[in-house]
Amino acid sequence: MEEEEYYEYYGEDAYEEEYEPTAWHYESVEEVPKNIRKYFHQRYHLFERYDEGVLLTDDAWFGVTPEYVARTIATHVGNAAGSEKTTIVDAFVGVGGNAIAFALSGRWERVFAIEKDPETLKCAKHNAEIYGVGNKIWWIEGDCLDIVPKRFPDMKETVVFASPPWGGVSYRHQPVFDLETMQPYGLKELYRTLSRCSKELVLYLPRSSDLNQVARYAADGTKTLVAHYCLRGASKALCVYYGDFGSVP
């Protein structure tokens, strides 16, 4: 990330202290670091039940999937996946936006949620309790690129959903975002590792993602669906549906 972007992402005081993720519930805008205020103003889009004590780390504000988008994705994945698919693995659970929506949909017998940062995982578990689905999700702390191929190898009944870090906001400055430069994991590494569990893999990626790169991993002679998810007239992100999915409404 360029220095200017680093400041845009983490704030002007970023170099003064090492960032230690801390689960936190901001009550009022005065408490919120300047670089997060824009997101704080959108808090009810992120979590409609924010006021019930939703926890986020400061980093998580940038990457959480807004609740309406997460619920729409959960409906689409649930409807488009075949009936043999009974398990979903949220490989990068963050503070729980998507995993909570998958659990709330009632579509899945098992929802697994993997997160490598313990404090972020603490937020996800707490937020899932607020939404009444804490005990409907199996929580795993660790590196999904290690855990998914080892613990969930070649699982025919499983769909993998992944909303990886995008490496800050640099995608906003590129008309077409190069998915191999995405930090810390490029598309090739994500696809190759996560598709060892299931060829049904849904990736949540920047809205400007390079679709030619996406197409490289589509099976020959098949269609790979790409859906934009929009909020207030603008695309927030897109999902790529690799593998055998029916139509997404």
Ligand X SMILES: C[S@@+](CC[C@H](N)C(=O)[O-])C[C@H]1O[C@@H](n2cnc3c(N)ncnc32)[C@H](O)[C@@H]1O
Note the residues at the interface with ligand X (CB under 6 A). Answer: 63-65, 92, 94-98, 114-117, 120, 143-145, 163, 165
Q: How far is the CB of 81 from ligand X (least distance, A)?
A: 18
Q: Which is nearer to ligand X, 84 or 180 (CB)?
A: 180
Helix (H) or strand (E) holding 214: helix 211-215
Q: In what order do the strands lie in the sheet with 87-90?
A: 137-141, 110-115, 87-90, 158-162, 201-205, 234-242, 225-231
**Residue in 133, 147, 140, 135 with CA at minimum distance from that of residue 105:** 133
Closest residue to ligand X, based on beta-carbon distance: 97
Q: Which is nearer to ligand X, 47 or 245 (CB)?
A: 47
Q: Which is nearer to ligand X, 82 or 107 (CB)?
A: 107
Q: How far is the CB of 56 from ligand X (least distance, A)?
A: 8
Q: How far is the CB of 159 from ligand X (least distance, A)?
A: 15
Q: How far is the CB of 62 from ligand X (least distance, A)?
A: 8
**Residue in 101, 82, 85 with CA at minimum distance from that of residue 93:** 101
φ/ψ region of 187 (left if φ > 0, alpha if ψ in -120 to 50, else beta) reads alpha
Q: Which is nearer to ligand X, 66 or 243 (CB)?
A: 66
Q: How far is the CB of 100 from ligand X (least distance, A)?
A: 8
Q: Which is nearer to ligand X, 5 or 117 (CB)?
A: 117
Q: Which residues contact 184 (CB under 8 A, 6 or more apart)?
A: 165, 167
